[in-house]
Amino acid sequence: MPNNPVNVLATGLRFPEGPVFTPDGALWCVELKGGGLARWQRGALTRVATGGGPNGATVDQEGRLWFCDSGHNSIRRLDPRTGEIASIVKQLEGRPFFKPNDLAFDAAGNLLFSCPGDSRQEPTGYACCLAPSGEVSVITREKYFPNGLVFVNGGRSLLLAETYRQRLWIGDWDPQLREWSNTRIWAVGVTGAPGPDGMALGADGRLYVAVYGSGQVKIFDATGQQVGARDLPGKNPTNCAFDPAGQLGLVVTEAERGELLSLPDLGPGAPLFAPPTMRTPAP
């Protein structure tokens, strides 16, 4: 086996993003251009049609998949046990969301998600927090394509990728006030065409960033300095996630070739927050 193996788990995916593992050990991802979610388990791939344009995904303790839908401008949820697909929330301040992209739970059950819209040339992107009560609030505005987000420092800090400025932001996260404060640039020069997309935190405190257009997952230490990179077969990695079981290492979704990749020598990852959420769909 080579020192830096990259194993192809699945091919033929239509712009895969948002890899996530459910409690039963299944690996899921979304297909942005396929209008659905895909499940990979023991070498077999199955699909669930959802319509719209699914982007990022995460999971709660009940094994339900929460995903951004940039086509329907909403946050949606799939229960794999029943096949039920629900639209949880669709609006901010009376207007549809601006193409939700990626999302993550905090320890208090708040769901944070980015809304880049079409903010490639103008800083019109923003990010939101959906509280367990159903209330939605904005945590940051005026970003050039806010994208992947991940909690670090035990959930006390939030990192956000600003793709079209090729940089990462960090700030203090207050789950009770639902406020992201003391925000500052954490890493710059995260180069690709266009730049950083989804991210995953390792148990070693290092940050693994799928950099779209670079053909790499770039690795940063806890101070925001790049300390390594891993080359991939395709140039457009969209996101990454660690296998909690440790067998697949770091899993990467790659859009140029439509592949689901495994870097088995990387990991373990830091556990994700996955609250036993009880939200009900918005009317």
- DSSP letters spanning 84-145: -EEEEE-EETTEE-S----EEE-TTS-EEEEE-TTTTSSS-EEEEEE-TTS-EEEEEEEESS
| Domain range list for the chain | 7-263
Longest dimension (CA), the chain: 55
φ, ψ (nearest 5 deg) of residue 145: 60, 70
b/e for 72-106, b at 16 or more Cβ within 10 A?
Answer: bbbbbbbebeeeebbebbbebeeeebbbbbbbbbb
Q: Which amino acid is at 52?
A: G
pLDDT at residue 40 greater than cutoff 80: yes
**Mean pLDDT value of segment 133-143:** 96
Residue 158: per-residue pLDDT: 98
Residue 271: per-residue pLDDT: 95
Q: Whole-angstrom Cα distance, residue 205 to residue 132?
A: 28
pLDDT at residue 97 greater than cutoff 90: yes
Residue 4: per-residue pLDDT: 86
Provide the token pair at 118.
């079409």
Q: Rounded to an integer, what is the distance from CA 263 to the centroid of its chain?
A: 18
**Mean pLDDT value of segment 209-215:** 98
Residue 137: per-residue pLDDT: 97
Residue 210: per-residue pLDDT: 98
Q: Whole-angstrom Cα distance, residue 45 to residue 138?
A: 37
Q: Do 16 and 9 meet the contact criterion of CB atoms below 8 Å apart? A: no
Q: CA torsion sign, 64 to 68 to 73 to 74?
A: positive
Residue 276: per-residue pLDDT: 83
Please give the CATH superfamily to which domain 7-263 belongs: TolB, C-terminal domain (2.120.10.30)
What is the value of pTM for the model shown?
0.96
pLDDT at residue 57 greater than cutoff 50: yes
